[in-house]
Amino acid sequence: MPLHPKGEHLMDRSEVEQRVKKVVCRVLKVDEELVEPSSHFVFDLGAESTQSVELVAAFEEEFGIELEDDAALAVQTVGGAVDFIAKHLE
Amino acid sequence: MTTTAPERVPTKAPHSLDALFSPRSVAVVGVTATPGTVPYDIFHNLLHAGFRGPVYPVAPGKRAISNVPAYRYLIDIDQPVDLAVIVFPADVVDRALEHCARKGVRAVVVISAGFREVGPEGQQREDRLKRLACAHGIALVGPNCLGVINTDPAVRLNASFARKMPHAGRIAFLSQSGALCTAVLDYAREKQIGFSKFVSFGNKAGVAESDLLEYLHHDEETDVILLYLEDLRDVRRLVAAAQRVTHEPPVKPILAIKAGRTPQGADAAASHTGSLAAEDDLCDAAFREAGILRVDSIDELFNTAILYAYQPLPAGDRLGIVTNAGGPGVMATDAAVREGLRVPRLAEETQANLRGVLPATAAVKNPVDVIGDARADRYEAALRQVLADPNVDQALVILTPQSMTDIEAIAQAVCRVHEAARDGRPAADLPRVAPKPVACSFMGATDVAEGIRVLQQAHIPHYILPEWACRAMAGVQAIRRMFEEPPDVARRLPVDDMAVRSVLDAAPAGYLAEHEALEVLEAYGLPVVPWRLCTTADEAVGWAEASGYPVTLRVVSRQVVHKSEIGAVALDLTTSEAVRVAFDALRDRVAAARPDAHIDGLLVRRMIPAGYELILGAKRDPIFGPVVMFGLGGIYVELFRDVVFALAPLGPRTARNMVRRAKAGRLVEGFRGGPRADIAGIEECLVRVGQLVSDFERLVELDINPLLASPAERGNAVADVRIRVA
């Protein structure tokens, strides 16, 4: 497994995706089979407005990162979140 | 209703808004599981208002909402859906609407905000909804609205986030403001006012007030329509729809508040008409033409509506007053007269009967003062007599809470008399009369509360102040007059429109040269005195000799708008020599003052004798379309601001009313011994100006200022005119 400069292991995209999905299921309380990369947080998964903020906080905690609020809240789909976080981890 | 109101014919044809008001099934799209949020509350309200059909929650990721199985997508519902209420955030509403189209949903209410009200991005989102709804024939209400309520017991639809379902009633309320709706519902509940339909139409991306008026015109549950508007868009459609409601059976009154009365941004137009035509005045003109009664406050709206909805339409404007206090009786009389009602002396027979049932100190002429110690029996006897009086068309009962006053019993007595009067027989021993409305003013607060409750339950309109009662009665009189007067019809007068077209086709954008403007007016039959555009002094003298003196000379140049300021006008020239001298002097003066000006020539015309100075104007407004203005003319037009407006084209009755409404109208009738001008001629000028501005889209502003009005034998004459073309 490749190592991050700080010594942590670097996640590949599929791992990011799995962990994003897990967070989404937990925060939005939806079944895992509903969560696809194309799933829209609101239209497909029923996220309420307050849950968007919760999702960003949960991603930050899950990945040990800090996200810029406005940019993070602008992400609308699961796939978008995966890309956004993966890019951040790079 | 009495015979004075045109017949109310029950008709009910299928309407595209049936799915909105009487859906067989409803889906709420975007429901959440959190009470206290709009998406949850709307679903909750639908369920708990007792809607007669199935209600489907579309809540992605949820198994059920309030124990009702939920659907991930609207298209997953295996049964037909008539109405969808979309409560998703703005950025996914279009996707939800696409699902509605796929599902064949016929009506959609978009509650969500975040559209045109937030700026260009929101406007784009709204345009997309509009296109989708239009392409799929969906009746779209909203976005950015409170929702829709139908209290009909056979439907019981509360597709809104108003917490409480209003009582059923005969009043429909339509509002552009959602927040106002919640306040109105609360206000109405306290006053026991019921509604037939309640619609918050928000940004009106699809369904607008005109569509709702068309639907409510034939809604058997609705007798009166109340409208709250913030912005007007398709005014001509609104006027047409409202005219049908107010004049084609089954006729119904429309009362409206149009917010934004303060003048703002009347565009910095160069013409008088342009600068004077404030949106509010044009709105008044449009509503007048539509038969819409404009009021200023929510109180006035409902005060008038309940009187109309709950009471018979009075046959006339005569008011009988029964009171237990002299002061309020006088105040009520003052208010009634101020509002245009009459408070006539009661018939001798009525006065005699009243003397028989009231103490010697009572007043029996009108107002009838039953004296401070009156109890229910005295009120009842007096009210019966007043309602039976042939000189009275309606009654107002005033009560002040005094030590002897049995308030609740008096309220019940009023109810008994009212019921008898509704059947045309206020007293068994008196002759039958037309049904007459009764209103009350029990003045005070806590002491009279129980009495007011009794009245409200019996649908007897109650007003805290007698003045409000009088204002409401005056409103009902306005409704009665509006019903009795058919819409005015603008018939075309013969004109030479080809001549105008050839002038306008050749004219660049901007002001027409004076001779061109005169040609335009002549072609439309306006009173222009003989004139000629001359390029030499010889030509001018020749014309003057042939036509007669005195004459005037004016320099004609597109670059010289304000002629008198640079001495480009000569008046009262009585000889050929004077014409010759003035011709050269004017030309030289203009050449010196404005070397850049191209002089087309000098306009010579017969001097117009003095007359009343009037202004006749026209303007093509982006929202209201062509409009006509009339008022006091001259140089102080903006100072006195005695102007009235009407939509063009206009018929003869509208022209007559314009002249009557302006103070200038009193002047031309012959104020303080002055001669009476040719008023019919002025009215015809207004009709012709209206026809002119309606016929030519390029004609954007027109000022005839002044039109000099004189008695018929001398006639009216255009003294000056400016026409701007786009």
Contacts of B327 (CB under 8 A, 6+ apart): none
pLDDT of residue A2: 45
| DSSP at A33 | G
Contact B90, A49 (CB under 8 A): no
CB contact under 8 A, B92 and A46: no
pLDDT digits over B679-693, tens only? 999 999 999 999 999
pTM assigned to the model: 0.90
Beta bridge partners of B258: B229
| Predicted pLDDT at B642 | 92
Residues of B in contact with A28 (CB under 8 A): 61
3-state SS assignment for residue B699: strand
User: In which band, very low, low, confident or very high, does the pLDDT at B2 lie, cut at 50, 70 and 90?
Assistant: very low
The torsion angle over the Cα atoms of residues B37, B39, B44 and B50, rounded to 10 degrees, is 140
Q: Which pLDDT tens digit goes with each residue over B629-682?
A: 999 998 778 788 899 999 999 999 999 999 999 999 999 998 888 899 999 999
Residue B258 tokens, joined: 């149009």
- Does residue A12 sit at the B interface (CB-CB below 8 Å)? no
What angle, rounded to 10 degrees, do the helices at B348-357 and B376-388 form?
Answer: 170
Q: Tally A–B CB contacts below 8 A.
A: 38
- Residue B462 is given by DSSP the state B
- Convert the pLDDT of each residue in B406-445 to its tens digit: 999 999 999 999 988 877 777 777 766 778 999 999 999 8
Residue of A nearest to B35 (CA): A48
* pLDDT number for residue B268: 44
**Does the beta-carbon distance from A45 to B60 stay under 8 Å?**
yes
Task: Work out the widest C-alpha separation in chain B, in whole angstroms.
Answer: 102
| B192, pLDDT greater than 70 | yes
B88/A42 Cβ within 8 A = yes
CA separation for the pair B150, B146 (Å, rounded):
13
Count, residues in chain A: 90
pLDDT tens track for B200-239: 999 999 999 999 999 999 999 999 999 999 888 899 999 9
- Cα–Cα distance list, B457 to B439, B469, B540 (Å): 13, 18, 82
CA–CA gap between residue B592 and residue B608 (Å, rounded) = 29
Give A33→chain B minimum CA distance, Å. Answer: 10
Residue B517 to residues B21, B504, B513, B699, Cα–Cα distance (Å)? 53, 10, 6, 11
The interface residues of chain A toward chain B in range 46-75, judged by CB-CB distance below 8 A, are 46, 48-49
pLDDT, position B710: 92
Query: Smallest CA–CA separation between A48 and chain B, in Å?
Result: 7
